[in-house]
Amino acid sequence: MDHAHHRRKLLARRSTIPRPALFLDRDGVVIKDCHHLSNPNQVTLLPGARELLRHANATGWPVVLITNQSGIARGLFDWNAYELVTNRLLELLGPDAALAAIYANGHGPDAPANSWRKPSPAMLLAAGQELNLDLSGSLLVGDRLSDLQAGAAAGLAWLGHVLSGHGQHERPRVTACIGPCGQFRGENPSSRQAQAVLLESLLDFPFGLLGPQAPHHDELFYR
């Protein structure tokens, strides 16, 4: 584990049986994108974020945040500032809209392809292993093409793209990667193709995808 560039916060129980999860990007999806956010007082939940997490919690779906934080590599803030922002985010969400885990990396754009930086699927794969997730049945929502590319490379079933954050700018690139039947065309055409859906915001998320999952009672799994 490269502790200089990677951070994980596991907040939920590890399941004894694989279960699908909902993966969300942070800036521009769950909270307002403030461009290299480092001030916890600027953390603002986006419309629909808390409601979606509350529904996922109620139906037994783990929610995992996956976030690129290149401001660390750029020297704009450090991991201590990142943790303050994280703590404020968790405070705003509250216990009934809890996250199962948060995965972050501080790499810049020059990160190697096998790093945790999206579009690499490494953060999703790590979450899948550590939380015992069924990635083939999992969902993801992001505002950048790299979010969807990471989800597709991890073998997820469904990818949602929102217009919040960088979504407006990224929408044409995302649309170009969606086939006529709604399949996301990733970099590996031979891999299983995820269903891709264009959303305005999290307010448009189809809650019906989050069918009830059986509760689980395993030991807490922290790192």
Please count the other Cβ atoms lying within 10 Å of the Cβ belonging to residue 39. Answer: 12
Q: Are 118 and 150 in contact (CB under 8 A)?
A: yes
User: What pLDDT does residue 220 have?
Assistant: 38
Q: What distance in Å separates the CA atoms of residue 1 and residue 7, rounded to the nearest whole number?
A: 9
**Domains of the chain, first to last:** 6-205 (3.40.50.1000)
Q: Are 85 and 41 in contact (CB under 8 A)?
A: no
Q: What is the DSSP letter of 202?
A: G
Q: What distance in Å separates the CA atoms of residue 37 and residue 155, rounded to the nearest whole number?
A: 30
Q: Are 175 and 163 in contact (CB under 8 A)?
A: no
User: What pLDDT does residue 216 have?
Assistant: 56
Measured between its terminal Cα atoms, the distance across the chain in Å is 12
- Catalogue the active-site residues: 25, 27
User: What pLDDT does residue 222 have?
Assistant: 34
Q: What distance in Å separates the CA atoms of residue 138 and residue 130, rounded to the nearest whole number?
A: 15
User: What pLDDT does residue 2 have?
Assistant: 59
From first to last of the 223 residues of the chain, give the pLDDT tens digit: 456 789 999 998 888 999 999 999 999 999 999 988 889 999 999 999 999 999 999 999 999 999 999 878 888 888 999 999 999 999 999 999 999 999 999 898 888 888 999 999 999 999 999 999 999 999 999 999 999 999 999 999 999 999 999 999 999 999 999 999 999 987 765 467 899 999 999 999 999 999 999 765 443 333 3
Q: In Å, how far from its chain's centre is CA 55?
A: 16
pTM for the full predicted model: 0.93
User: What pLDDT does residue 160 have?
Assistant: 98
Q: What distance in Å separates the CA atoms of residue 59 and residue 61, rounded to the nearest whole number?
A: 6
Q: What values do phi and psi take at 2, rounded to 5?
A: -90, 95
Q: What distance in Å separates the CA atoms of residue 87 and residue 32, rounded to the nearest whole number?
A: 16
Task: State the virtual CA torsion across 95, 100, 105, 106 in degrees, nearest 10.
Answer: 10
Structure tokens given for 121: 């699927």
